[in-house]
Amino acid sequence: MILRKYGVELHSLSGDDLELIRCWRNDDFVRERMLFQEEISSTDQKSWFAKLDRSMVYLLIIYREARIGLINVRNINWEERSGEAGILMGDESYRNSFVPMLAVFCLMDVFFKEFQFSQLTARVRKDNQNALNFNRDLGYRIQEEYPDHYLLTVSPEEYQKKKEQLKRVLAKFDFEKCENAFSQSESAYLFLRK
């Protein structure tokens, strides 16, 4: 799968990406903001990759031809059109930039418009105020509270309202231009209608 919009590209993972992603994920800054905070071994990473199935979409974020992060929707229910989204910015020079927001807009546009999802959720640690604010800027609202994290949800309508507020900014990044490419097997389940 390849998604292109707002100047970013999102590419399906390959085995060649695993060690880079593992290094990003094990970085103290990233790990401390995750619900699962253990270090991940090379064996663990390969095992995780081997278990990826149609309920999980993990995409490498590419900006200006550089691999800079990972974005995903997991726990996907294709019949109900829902899933849990997440993002990891591996290249620290982009963590506090506009690029993570562009990558998320690219992903959410495709999942809400092309795939007709009815809802996305996200889990955010209670002590990660930056991530909580980031998700609220996308239209997410706290749905449930757990001892260490919040479960947030966003509908296509809530997302669209927030996106409209930023339309002028997004126009600089080919707002309407969207290019997507899917393999035959991806097309078989991505475009199943309710």
Helices and strands (H and E) in the chain: how many = 8, 9
pLDDT, tens digit, for every residue of 97-130? 889 999 999 999 999 998 999 999 999 999 999 9
pLDDT at 173 (0 to 100): 63
pLDDT at 26 (0 to 100): 85
pLDDT at 117 (0 to 100): 96
- Average pLDDT, rounded, for the chain: 86
Euclidean distance between CA atoms 41 and 185, whole angstroms = 30
Q: Regarding predicted confidence, which is higher, 142 or 22?
A: 142
pLDDT at 193 (0 to 100): 47
Has residue 185 got a pLDDT over 70?
Answer: no
Has residue 51 got a pLDDT over 50?
Answer: yes
Model confidence band, residue 150 (pLDDT cutoffs 50, 70, 90): very high
Joined tokens for residue 29: 């800054």
Has residue 194 got a pLDDT over 60?
Answer: no
Euclidean distance between CA atoms 158 and 138, whole angstroms = 8
Model confidence band, residue 187 (pLDDT cutoffs 50, 70, 90): low
pLDDT at 1 (0 to 100): 87
Q: Which fold has domain 2-190?
A: Aminopeptidase (3.40.630)
Q: Which residue, among 135, 122, 125, has the nearest Cα to 31 in the 3D structure?
A: 125
Model confidence band, residue 140 (pLDDT cutoffs 50, 70, 90): very high
Parse the chain into domains and list their residue ranges: 2-190
How large is the average pLDDT for residues 26-35? Answer: 73
pLDDT at 27 (0 to 100): 79
How large is the average pLDDT for residues 157-168? Answer: 87
pLDDT, tens digit, for every residue of 55-75? 999 999 999 999 999 999 999
Distances (CA, A) of 95 to 15, 30, 48, 89, 104: 24, 10, 25, 6, 13
